Structure 1
Amino acid sequence: MSHPQQSGGTTARPGSALPSPAAPAAPPGPPPGPPGRRPVPLLPVTAWREGLERLRAAAVTEPGRLRIIGAVLAVLLAVFGGVTAWQVADRSAAADAVVGESQPLSANAADIYRSLADADTTAASGFLAGGQEPRPVRERYEKDVALASELLTKASANAGGSPAAREQIARMNEQLPRYTGLVEAARATNRQGLPLGGAYLRYASERMREDLLPAARRLYEAETGRLGSDYDDAKSWPWAALAVGVVALGALGWAQRRAFLRTNRVFNHGLLAATGLTAVTLLWLIAGHAVARSGLQASYDHGARSLRVLSEARIGSLQARGDENLTLVARGAALTDKGEDVYETSYRSGMRALAGGGQGAPGRGTLLERALDLAHDAQGRAPVEQAVAGVRQWQARHQEARAKDDAGMYEEALPLVIGKKGDDKGSTGESFDRVDQALRQALEHEQSAFRRSAHDGRGALWGLDAGAAVLALLGAAGAVLGIGRRLSEYR
């Protein structure tokens, strides 16, 4: 029995199954993961990852560790020098501002206030002298107005970014011509012998007290606030630089101890030099700032504070003198709700704030008593004591003048206030001039004391910023050389 032959195949034996055709081979792939989880793709190799790998590999060898330690020390010392230079330069700039900008501007603002108050007082004195006011009185008034205008121009140029200061300066520039116009109207009317002149003068004085002097006070307070801010900036400790310096010293100490434990060598010249330079920089920073802080504090306690109290005392005496003059100008035309003379009431209030009442030493808390407490030497106390004596004399003469005026003897009271023609001896005007002169001398003395102390404080910071940066960079170089010396032993 024959079977037909199958083409292209193999002959199957009887009783055996035909083989299945071979399946194509599957491409190779990743090994199967756990059931239920998708395979995580491999992360790409980045420069940052490669750097970390190299750093990890280097950290397991001593040369690699030394390179890392040297780099960290160099960066730490460079940061110490940079932070120290930055903070010292910032405090030096603030100290320069105290000496060269904010304190002079504060003094100028006080002079603006004083000039305006003196102009108002002088205008009243000239009015009381009659239609033909004395030439010295006229010249003093014109000098006060010119000085106030000049100082306002300077203040406007240096107001900077202070909106409050610019606002007050603009207000005074607007109101000052109005005030002088009212004073001229009062003088012209007074020369004609018309009683309306007194009304013009009182209205001018109201504008001075309600517009000009409050604006001058706010300008003075703004400039004094700037001075206080500069003081705070100049005296604040450079905590960031100190902290970085201490950390740098600690790191250098640790590095030297580590080197000693591994090599039994006591000194590493490079690290030792870096430690010495860092310690010198840190001590220089502490000592220099402590001396600067002490000098600036002395200039504030025995200079800026004294100047402020003395300026307020001088302004207070000027306002009291103006009230005294206006009492005679008004002649009872301006009364308080209690029926008392407005200007006499203001005079008494001002004198109590200046020196208290009665005789002897000034009362506690008064301006002159505070000025005596702040005076740091005999030369500073002497003119203030003269001012106290002048105030007591002034008060006694004022009481005599008021007694005569209250009794209806105006002609007898007037010479006791402004003196006789060409001679003010025995008058309250003589006493006021004595007080004003003494306070001016005290201001000049305290201004000199301020300059000395402030210059000493500022000088203590001279060169510290550049010196600290140079020493820190030299320390960083020493640390790198010291570590490099250890690395050379592995080559």
Structure 2
Amino acid sequence: MLSRRGSGTSAAAPTLDEARLVDPEPRPLSARRIAASTPGKLTLVGVGLIALVLAAGALTSVAIVAREQRINTLHLVTGPLTNSTQELYSSLSIADAAATAGFLSGRVEPAAIRNRYNQAIGEASTALVSTTSGVTASDTEAAELSRNLSVYSAIVATARANSRVGNPIGVSYLNESSALMHDAMLPTAEHLYTKHAEAQANTQRHLAQPPWVALALCVVALIALIVAQRYLARLSRRRINPGLIVATALMALLAVWLSVAGLFSVNASAHDMAAAETTDALVRARILAQQARADETLGLLRRDTDTQSEQDYTRHIADLERILGEQRTTPAPTDASGRAVGDAVAALDGWQKAHRDLRDRLGAGDYVGAVAVAVDGGPDGAPAQFMRLDDALRGDIGSLREEASGYTSRSWTSLRLLDVGGATLGVLCGFAIGAGLWPRLSEYR
């Protein structure tokens, strides 16, 4: 019931709820709202940039370490193994050619031919040891080749002993040793050489490729730093951020360093690969020449005008002409290499002329005259022209090996300190980015 005005009773006065005076608990911000705020954006930019420059530095270091490991493998393992198998393959062919040539000189071969044979056998034994040192994959082939080398040397010794006493069966023993060489030993040596040469070429192909991934990441990090500076300039209305400028300069230094060092390394590796390819061609050319010389002398020993030896000689000479022709039309790695190939071609022409003379004399029944052309014949004879050819190829192979080793050393030198420098510059970039963004973040506290 309402009270009347002027009566002694009044309405109850409103009361204050003190609980309403307490500030309500703040609601936590969501991750999306934090990220959308200016401090959140700056934090994300900073974390992203730091992660990017650290990744660029780390990837550069990893790429350079991997490249250095390949260069070490090429210099200490693959290259020496390829050279050893080259020496093995060549030495076996030289020994076979010298053994057959010695029989044309009479009962006792000249000291020069005997020394050439002994030296070739010794070099083959040394190369065989070097080829199989620490390489388990070729142990079976090497063991077989080592046994066959001992058997071959014994058969040649028996053939020589029979030849000294005038026993014609010595030629049969020589045929047996030559068959062992051509049917078993040379194919095995060729397989070993081809396997190691392919491994060397594979390593060189990897080294001839620039470190594209590391370089691309450095460029991406550099672009990201430039974009971040423009964004920060619009956000804070400050055109210059010293920390980000330092980080940009450091990343630009890393990108330039990697580009220049990679360019020099790739250029040296490309020259190394070209020298190795030319060396491989000349090694095969020299082996073909040795085999053709063995075919030539063995055909005379058999005293036939149309033998398998003559057919093999023709095939080997054709392959030799093809290789030398390709080398003449291909730019030589060095001027000396080009001159050596030219000398080899001229010597091959002289040798073929002497061989035609030999075959004409043999066809006319002048066996003694044919032997004279094959064994002596003066400066225009078969042995002189063959030695001229072999000396040209051997000298060029040696110079190309030295050149390839020099290119490998240059490739290594160009990458020096870049593995450590890449990681260091990446870390310094990260600190510079943090130093550049921290003052801006502290303004929002």
TM-score normalized by the length of structure 2: 0.88
Structure 1, unmatched stretches of 5+, are: 1-51, 356-365
How much does 1:273 deviate? 0.9
Which residue of structure 2 lines up, in the alignment, with residue 128 of structure 1? 104
Distance 2:31 2:64 in 1: 36
Following TM superposition, by how much is the alpha carbon of 1:57 offset from its aligned partner in structure 2, in angstroms? Answer: 5.5
Q: Could you give the per-residue CA deviations for residues 424-458 of structure 1, whole angstroms, max 9, x where no partner exists? A: 55431111111111112222232233233333233
Residue of structure 1 in register with 2:370 after alignment: 413
Please give the residue correspondences for 1:334-373 in structure 2 after superposition, counting only pairs within 5 Å.
340-355=306-321, 366-372=322-328, 373=330
Q: Quick check: 1:92–1:234 contact (8 Å CA) kept in 2?
A: no
Tell me the residue number matched to 2:196: 223
Answer yes or no: is 1:287 the counterpart of 2:260: yes
What is the CA-CA distance between 1:292 and the residue it aligns to? 1.2
2:245 aligned with 1:269, yes or no?
no
Q: How far is the alpha carbon of 1:477 from its aligned partner?
A: 0.5
Partner of 2:205: 232
CA contact (8 A) 2:229 2:244 kept: yes
Q: Measured at CA, do residues 249 and 426 of structure 1 come closer, stay the same or move farther in structure 2, by a change above 3 Å? A: closer
Instruction: Provide the aligned length of Structure 1 versus Structure 2.
Output: 417
What residue in structure 2 maps to residue 38 of structure 1?
Answer: none
Matches of 1:293 and 1:368, distance apart in 2: 28
Q: Does 1:391 align with 2:357?
A: no
Residue 212 of structure 2 is aligned to residue 255 of structure 1: no
Paired with 1:143 and 1:485, the residues of 2 have a C-alpha distance of 78
Partners of 2:103 and 2:224 in 1: CA distance: 79
Of 275, 281, 286, the residue aligned with 1:314 is 286
Counterpart residue number, 2:396: 442
The amino acid of 1:151's aligned partner reads A
Structure 1 partner of 2:135: 159
Give the structure 1 partner of residue 15 of structure 2: none
- CA-CA distance at 1:469 after TM superposition: 0.9
Q: Which amino acid aligns with 2:193?
A: Y
- In structure 2, the residue matched to 1:49 is none
Q: Offset of 1:170 from its aligned partner?
A: 2.5
Q: Distance in 2 between matches of 1:194 and 1:448?
A: 47
- Give the number of the structure whose residues are more often helix, by fraction: 2
CA RMSD of aligned residues (A): 2.1
Amino-acid identity (%)? 30
Q: How does 1:325-340 map onto structure 2 within 5 Å?
A: 325-332=297-304, 340=306
Contiguous gaps of at least 5 residues in structure 2? 1-27
After TM superposition, give the deviation of residue 73 of structure 1 in Å.
1.8
Residue type of the partner of 1:112?
L
Task: Note if contact 1:202-1:330 (Cα within 8 Å) is conserved in structure 2.
Answer: no
Counterpart position of 1:68: 44
Q: 2:205 touches 2:273 (CA, 8 Å); kept in 1? A: no
* Residue number among 214, 226, 243 corresponding to 2:187 in the alignment: 214
Contact 1:99 1:451 in 2 (8 A): yes
Question: Which of the numbers 72, 80, 84 marks the counterpart of 1:108?
Answer: 84
In structure 1, the partner of 2:155 is 182
2:17 is matched with: none
Task: Say whether the 8 Å CA contact 2:350–2:380 is kept in structure 1.
Answer: no
For 1:417 and 1:319, the matched residues in 2 are separated by 15
Q: Which residue of 1 aligns with 2:385?
A: 431
Which piece of structure 1 moves more, 217-226 or 446-455?
Answer: 446-455
Matched, 1:198 2:174: no
Q: Distance in 2 between matches of 1:277 and 1:426?
A: 68
Kindly indicate whether residue 78 of structure 2 is the aligned counterpart of residue 94 of structure 1. Answer: no
Query: Is the alpha carbon distance of 1:351 and 1:287 closer, same or farther for their aligned partners in structure 2, counting shifts above 3 Å?
Result: same
- Cα gap change, 1:391/1:231 in structure 2, threshold over 3 Å: closer, same or farther? same
Matched, 1:483 2:437: yes
Partner of residue 305, structure 1? 277
Q: Which residue of 1 aligns with 2:413?
A: 459
Q: Distance in 2 between matches of 1:53 and 1:374?
A: 71
Contact kept? 1:419, 1:426, Cα under 8 Å? no
Contact conserved, 1:116 with 1:144, CA < 8 A, in 2?
Answer: yes
Residue 375 to residue 236, structure 1, CA distance change in 2 (3 Å) = closer
Matches of 2:333 and 2:60, distance apart in 1: 34
Distance 1:196 1:68 in 2: 91
Q: What is the CA-CA distance between 1:158 and the residue it aligns to?
A: 4.4
Deviations 1:4-56, CA, capped at 9 Å, x for gaps:
xxxxxxxxxxxxxxxxxxxxxxxxxxxxxxxxxxxxxxxxxxxxxxxx98744
